[in-house]
Amino acid sequence: MTVAGGRARGRREVSAAAAAAIALVTMVAAVLVAGCGDGGEQDLAPTLRVRRPFQPEPLKPGPVLAIGDVRALSPDVQAALAPGSDYQAAPTPHGNDWLITNNEPGQTFAQWERGGFHRPDDRRRVLYLLPIGELPAARTPPLEDLAAVVYAYFQLEVRVLPAAELAAVGATTRTNRSSGKPQVLAPDVLRWLKLHVPDDAYALMAVTMADLYPDPAWNFVYGLATFSERVGVQSFARYDPDFYGEPRPPDWRRTLARRSAQVLIHEIGHMFGLYHCIHWSCVMAGANHQAEFDAHPLHVCPVDLRKLWAAIGFDVASREAALAAAWTRLDVPDEAAWASRRAERLRAAAVPR
Ligand SMILES: [Zn+2]
Ligand SMILES: [Zn+2]
């Protein structure tokens, strides 16, 4: 991945093949684990065959049709889902971008609805954040501010649990060959998390400073979540340039906050049954390298907003207003401005004419 300043160039195709393999497994095996190649690159794995580069065809059935028929919805929800200037078209993939090397079909609203994924109900509607190991304040974003973003984003109660010891998880570890630093096998963490999901949890999301890898063939992964088992994990380790021995630019804490929130939302989005997005520029899009990852917005596109709205049933204008405040608190000004504009527009759309 390009974060490392060109480190390990030439491995990306193999990485992409592994990502595609995981993506394929998720589609065929009724979605066990959402393989987030978002940032994943792997060590050399000669047993993996490189897939022929995938040339995406024009989108079918098309980004707008993917939203579905909205005519029966209330005016404010229709306004929220209108494919207007608030939303950008998905960029045309090139080079080593995710969709060049991963033949992902995307997921229309209708496909999501037919998927029968979990939705919060009266019994399970709390999003839990669980720190695993120490989260040093000097190297991690404020967890309370991230929790505020998650609360605004999904409009569900968020509770931060007392930290668990990394040793208690009992996950497989290794020393990464590129970084020389210790890593933890993310699927082992997910297995442990499944045993500790609180009764009233919609989902249990772990956050850790431990660097993660999803499979022995991979170099690392930012995060990993399940579609159906309501657990996920994300690492903050690689958002800090110091991880790579590089100097921290003056605005590195803002970058740290933004990337942390991006992965957190993306992984929790998977736990609502959202596949990687191909329809629009969207937080749910896959990413193969840092530049592609950083180019994604932190908001969901209208297709994925409709899924979240159908699953949760929030007020679309209140959600944007809450997000504007939460993004400001976390110091993500562009998303705060976007959400603030949207809140005004959606409030106006809700007023009967
Ligand atoms: Zn993902
Ligand atoms: Zn989307």
Say how many Å lie between the CA of residue 224 and the centre of ligand 1. Answer: 7
Instruction: Kindly tell me the sign of the dihedral angle through the C-alpha atoms of 65, 71, 202, 282.
Output: positive
Distance CA(218)–CA(15), nearest Å, equals: 7
| 286: phi then psi, degrees, rounded to nearest 5 | -75, 160
Q: Which CATH class is domain 2-350?
A: alpha beta
Q: What is the pLDDT of residue 26?
A: 32
Say how many Å lie between the CA of residue 335 and the centre of ligand 2. Answer: 16
Q: What is the pLDDT of residue 350?
A: 84
User: Tens digit of pLDDT for each residue in 221-262?
Assistant: 999 999 999 999 999 999 999 999 999 999 999 999 999 999
> Who contacts 34 (Cβ-Cβ below 8 Å, separation ≥6)?
26, 224, 225, 226, 227, 267, 270, 275
The closest of 18, 30, 28, 22 to 227, measured between CA atoms, is 30
Contact between residue 229 and residue 267 where contact means Cβ atoms under 8 Å apart? no
Beta bridge partners of 128: 159, 204
Helix 333-350 / helix 316-330 crossing angle, nearest 10 deg: 160
Stronger pLDDT, 55 or 327, i.e. the higher one? 327
Half-sphere exposure of 320 (CA within 13 A, CB side): 23
Say how many Å lie between the CA of residue 196 and the centre of ligand 2. Answer: 30
Q: Which residue has the tokens 């120490």?
A: 134
Q: What is the pLDDT of residue 130?
A: 98
How many angstroms separate the Cα of 294 from the Cα of each of 16, 25, 242, 260, 323? 18, 26, 18, 11, 19
Q: What is the pLDDT of residue 70?
A: 93
**3-class secondary-structure state, position 246:** coil
Stronger pLDDT, 115 or 13, i.e. the higher one? 115
Asked whether residue 47 carries a pLDDT value surpassing 90, the answer given is no
Say how many Å lie between the CA of residue 131 and the centre of ligand 2. Answer: 28
Say how many Å lie between the CA of residue 204 and the centre of ligand 2. Answer: 22
Residue 298: nearest ligand to its CA?
Answer: 2
Distance CA(38)–CA(239), nearest Å, equals: 13
Say how many Å lie between the CA of residue 223 and the centre of ligand 1. Answer: 8
User: Tens digit of pLDDT for each residue in 116-172?
Assistant: 999 999 999 999 999 999 999 999 999 999 999 999 999 999 999 999 999 999 999
Residue 224: nearest ligand to its CA?
Answer: 1
Ramachandran quadrant class, 294 (left: phi over 0; alpha: psi -120 to 50; beta: rest): alpha
Say how many Å lie between the CA of residue 308 and the centre of ligand 1. Answer: 16
User: What is the maximum alpha-carbon separation in the chain?
Assistant: 64
Contact between residue 234 and residue 208 where contact means Cβ atoms under 8 Å apart? yes
Asked whether residue 93 carries a pLDDT value surpassing 80, the answer given is yes
Residues with CB under 5 A from ligand 2 (ion): 277, 282, 284, 301, 304
How distant is the alpha carbon of residue 186 from its chain centre?
A: 15
**pLDDT more than 70, % of the chain:** 82
Tokens describing residue 352: 């009967």
Say how many Å lie between the CA of residue 266 and the centre of ligand 1. Answer: 6
Say how many Å lie between the CA of residue 8 and the centre of ligand 2. Answer: 30
**3-class secondary-structure state, position 282:** coil
Say how many Å lie between the CA of residue 139 and the centre of ligand 2. Answer: 30
Beta bridge partners of 203: 127
Q: What is the pLDDT of residue 353?
A: 57
Say how many Å lie between the CA of residue 113 and the centre of ligand 1. Answer: 19
Amino acid residing at 287: A
Rounded (5°) CA angle 9-56-288: 30
Cis peptide before 83 (omega within 30 of 0): no
In the chain, which residue ranges form alpha helices assigned H by DSSP?
A: 12-28, 63-67, 75-81, 98-101, 109-115, 143-154, 166-169, 186-194, 252-270, 290-295, 302-312, 316-330, 333-350
Active site residue: 13, 267, 292, 320, which one?
Answer: 267
The bridge status of strand 182-185 relative to strand 211-213 is parallel
Q: Give the residue-averaged pLDDT of 264-288.
A: 95
Residue 267 among the catalytic residues: yes
Distance CA(308)–CA(131), nearest Å, equals: 25
Distance CA(218)–CA(33), nearest Å, equals: 15
Sheet holding 231-235, edge to edge: 157-160, 126-132, 201-208, 231-235, 223-225
Residue 232: nearest ligand to its CA?
Answer: 1
The closest of 186, 252, 261, 251 to 219, measured between CA atoms, is 186
